[in-house]
Structure 1
Amino acid sequence: MLGQRGRSRRRAGPLAGRAVPARARAGTGAESARAVIPDGVYDPPRDPLRILHDDHEIVVVEKPAGLLSVPGKGEHLADCLIARLAVAYPSVLLVHRLDRDTSGVMVFALTPHAQRHLGLQFEKRQVKKTYVARVWGEIAGDSGRVDLPIAVDWPNRPRQKIDHDAGREAITDWQAIRRGEGETRVRLTPQTGRSHQLRVHMLALGHPILGDPFYATGAARDFPRMMLHAESLRLRHPDGGRQVRFHSPVPF
């Protein structure tokens, strides 16, 4: 059974993509903040979720673009990834989040111990994450580092901005994978975990992520989804501390 507990096991399989009320799991996360989305109708995908791995401590899932990680404000934003997971994993606990329009690998805890263990790894920047994005324009150079502080753009919240006075340290390493037809495919490795970090840093380089509803404009925004995918996640397993890596193929 999908919700079975016990010995550690690996599996990739479907989980019915149904919604449950926000109250089912809204209070179980590591973060209390509600999700905020751009103006417009929230119409999340209904496809079954893909479970990359589960065991007695964690569940790793491939989040689809367009689905909130946690509930937003109001019943119309109750459908979210953690709520869907709670149908099969009633003890599921939040560890980190991805933006609504970002797809890819996410890990959730199934015990308070796992939540504390993983949360500490994220806090100490011990979790290694890689993303793949398609960005506007052809980037000069093969690789580089963006080291620009980020702060909330309060008049336009939840947008973020570069702020050299009040911003918090934010560092992103990038590597060009392929260029052509007015765009570049890049691999992004965040060294910090600020809100919208990759999106703001790519904009600061003059190469916004294609389809970004907040930071792309004109033709760069005119895409069916935001072209940002969490490709891999490497961390220490809460049971014994061994290194594990989870990977999700890029869908674009």
Structure 2
Amino acid sequence: MKSLFHSFKTDVAHLEKPSQFNYPFYYEPHPLALVATRELQTYLESQTQWFQEGSLQEAGKMFGVLVVETETGKLGYLAGFSGKLAGETTQDFFVPPVYELERVDSFFRQETAKLDELTKVLQSLETDLSNIQLQADYKKELTKIELQLETEKERIQSRKRKRRIHIKEQKRTLSESKFQQFEAQQRQLSLNDSFFLREYEEYLLEKFRPLQQRFEKLESELETLKTKRREGSNWLQDWLFDEYNFLNAQGEIRNVKDIFKSRIPDTPPAATGDCAAPKLLQYAYENNLKPITMAEFWYGASPKSKVRQHGNFYPSCRSRCEPVLEFMLQGIDVEENPLLENPATHKELEIIYEDDYLLAINKPSEFLSVPGKSISDSVQSRMKARYPEATGPMIVHRLDMSTSGILLVAKNLEIYHDLQEQFVTRKVQKRYVAVLKGTVKEDHGYIDLPLRVDLDNRPYQLVDFEYGKSARTRYEVIHRVMDSTSVYFYPITGRTHQLRVHAAHVDGLNAPIVGDDLYGTKDQRLHLHAQQLTFTHPVAQKTVVLQTKADFLT
């Protein structure tokens, strides 16, 4: 088999190896990884067929490089891609998948063919014109019967109401014995109506039964096929997880089901193991290559849901890769998770407004609004320590950890509820200032892209027009300088990462905020600042306008 170890074409003799392997879920690419990335991208540019066929032009792809060292000390790199490239799991130049699903003689392919055949039969039944007509006739006839019965019930109820009125009238004029006789006659009429309704319903259903039986037979056949396909798919996925065996630097082997056994949930997501990072490490271990550093990047057109910029680096995904990489990197000296460090340790909180009821903080960048999973230091914890007599949550609203700017703090529960109500009813006016990487053409505009959390890769947010929550932002360009644009953002809604996604997404401004380590490129800080806040004071009932300057603006 041809070696997929690529020697550097660029002279890297002056570059020192990193002392530790980079933490794959938050990192800045090492210079060696940058060189490997440039060389891989040069190779990709030469593969014009992938662009002509639309593989990368219509939908980009995550690629990865793993810098490795041979047993003789020679440095080089491996290249990988996530999932399939141009419809294939294997391509020249790139490491193979951990388990080759697409071999002609593979069990997976044979079983997939069976599932495909079930799907064809199912689709054939679902698209058959006579079956479509049968389903339409069934619904039409059922609706007709329901309407006929409802109409008859209304007639019976109408007659019943008239009889009640008639009974009351006759009670005033008839003798006791004649009234009892009359009342008995009316009760009999009501019973007759009930008997008629039952017989009428049986008559309609009897006429309907042949059509119903044909419909139920079709539905049963469809459901049987769907169940068989679903059970077959689940069984095949479970079998596949047994076949995905991963190595680590200590020579241990573990399949994906065992890796996820202690996780919640303990069922691996579909396509676990098909990302670039596990494939790269697996090939390195199988070929006695020592992993040195790794980087993953997006290449090609941006997707419609996630924020992915051509050429930008991104961390490995959490849901699929985190458990797998934790195992595969055992035996390698890996950097500590930098996200566990508290970047706010030596930062102070500037109070820009305070009275007996509330105060406003100018929150620094990289400072939590409320305690996180691993870092307890936050604006909330410091405020509770500073004001031990305060009641309620205190923090009225939140800013992302990386976003700086104005944050309101309530000193008692009543003020907290009043201010939060103003936020909920959108009576608070907010203005953010940001610097974007890229040129925004329009001087002002409106962005409406619904958002939801990326369940496979928290805390990332993605655009989802079906399940996302409404997210709307108004923007105004301040000025443009070279390849950057300063803007004001006026968020109408307040979704997590709303401004960051609306700035970076291809259907938003397509210009990520400078320093956005999630949706753009890491810098000294995120250039996003909550600059102005206007609200009504809960006690004084006067308009309060607060402003602060962003430290990234000159």
TM-score range, shorter chain: 0.7 to 0.9
CA displacement at 1:49 relative to structure 2: 1.7
- After superposition, the C-alpha distances for 1:174-205 in whole angstroms (9 at most, x for unaligned) are 11111112110100000111111100100122
Residue in 2 that maps onto 1:177: 478
Q: SS of the residue aligned with 2:456?
A: helix
Query: Is residue 508 of structure 2 the alignment partner of residue 200 of structure 1?
Result: no
2:517 touches 2:523 (CA, 8 Å); kept in 1? no
Q: SS of the residue aligned with 2:384?
A: helix
1:65 touches 1:103 (CA, 8 Å); kept in 2? yes
Pairing partner for 1:58 from 344, 358, 362: 358
Q: What is the CA–CA distance in structure 2 between the aligned matches of 1:42 and 1:61, rounded to whole Å? A: 19
CA displacement at 1:238 relative to structure 2: 1.1
Alignment of 1:136-151 (within 5 A): 136-151=437-452
Could you tell me which amino acid in structure 2 is paired with residue 46 of structure 1? H
Q: What is the CA–CA distance in structure 2 between the aligned matches of 1:229 and 1:151, rounded to whole Å? A: 23
Q: What is the CA–CA distance in structure 2 between the aligned matches of 1:66 and 1:94, rounded to whole Å? A: 17
Query: Is residue 527 of structure 2 the alignment partner of residue 223 of structure 1?
Result: no
Alignment of 1:69-218 (within 5 A): 69-74=369-374, 77-90=375-388, 91=390, 93-204=394-505, 205-216=509-520
CA displacement at 1:40 relative to structure 2: 5.6
| Structure ranking higher in helix proportion | 2
Relative contact order higher in (CA < 8 Å, ≥ 6 apart): 1
2:479 touches 2:486 (CA, 8 Å); kept in 1? yes
Report the structure number with the largest CA radius of gyration. Answer: 2
- After superposition, the C-alpha distances for 1:61-105 in whole angstroms (9 at most, x for unaligned) are 10000111111113xx01111112223222161211100000000
CA displacement at 1:222 relative to structure 2: 3.5
Pairing partner for 1:235 from 535, 546, 551: 535
Q: What is the CA–CA distance in structure 2 between the aligned matches of 1:145 and 1:130, rounded to whole Å? A: 14
Q: What TM-score do the two structures reach when normalised by structure 2?
A: 0.37
Q: Kindly, what percent of the aligned residue pairs are identical?
A: 38
Q: Which runs of 4+ in 1 moved over 6 A?
A: none
| Structure ranking higher in strand proportion | 1
Identify which range, 39-48 or 172-181, moves more after superposition. 39-48
- After superposition, the C-alpha distances for 1:128-162 in whole angstroms (9 at most, x for unaligned) are 10000011111102111101111111111111111
Could you tell me which amino acid in structure 2 is paired with residue 206 of structure 1? N
Pairing partner for 2:367 from 59, 67, 70: 67
Gapped regions of structure 2 (runs ≥ 5)? 1-336
Root-mean-square deviation (Å): 1.6
Gapped regions of structure 1 (runs ≥ 5)? 1-36
Residue in 1 that maps onto 2:343: 43
Q: What is the CA–CA distance in structure 2 between the aligned matches of 1:84 and 1:46, rounded to whole Å? A: 13
Q: What TM-score do the two structures reach when normalised by structure 1?
A: 0.80
In structure 2, the CA distance between the partners of 1:38 and 1:166, relative to structure 1 (3 Å rule), is farther
CA displacement at 1:39 relative to structure 2: 4.0
Aligned length: 210
CA displacement at 1:213 relative to structure 2: 1.5
1:170 touches 1:197 (CA, 8 Å); kept in 2? yes
Q: What is the CA–CA distance in structure 2 between the aligned matches of 1:192 and 1:41, rounded to whole Å? A: 31
Residue in 2 that maps onto 1:244: 544
Q: What is the CA–CA distance in structure 2 between the aligned matches of 1:71 and 1:171, rounded to whole Å? A: 27
CA displacement at 1:45 relative to structure 2: 5.1
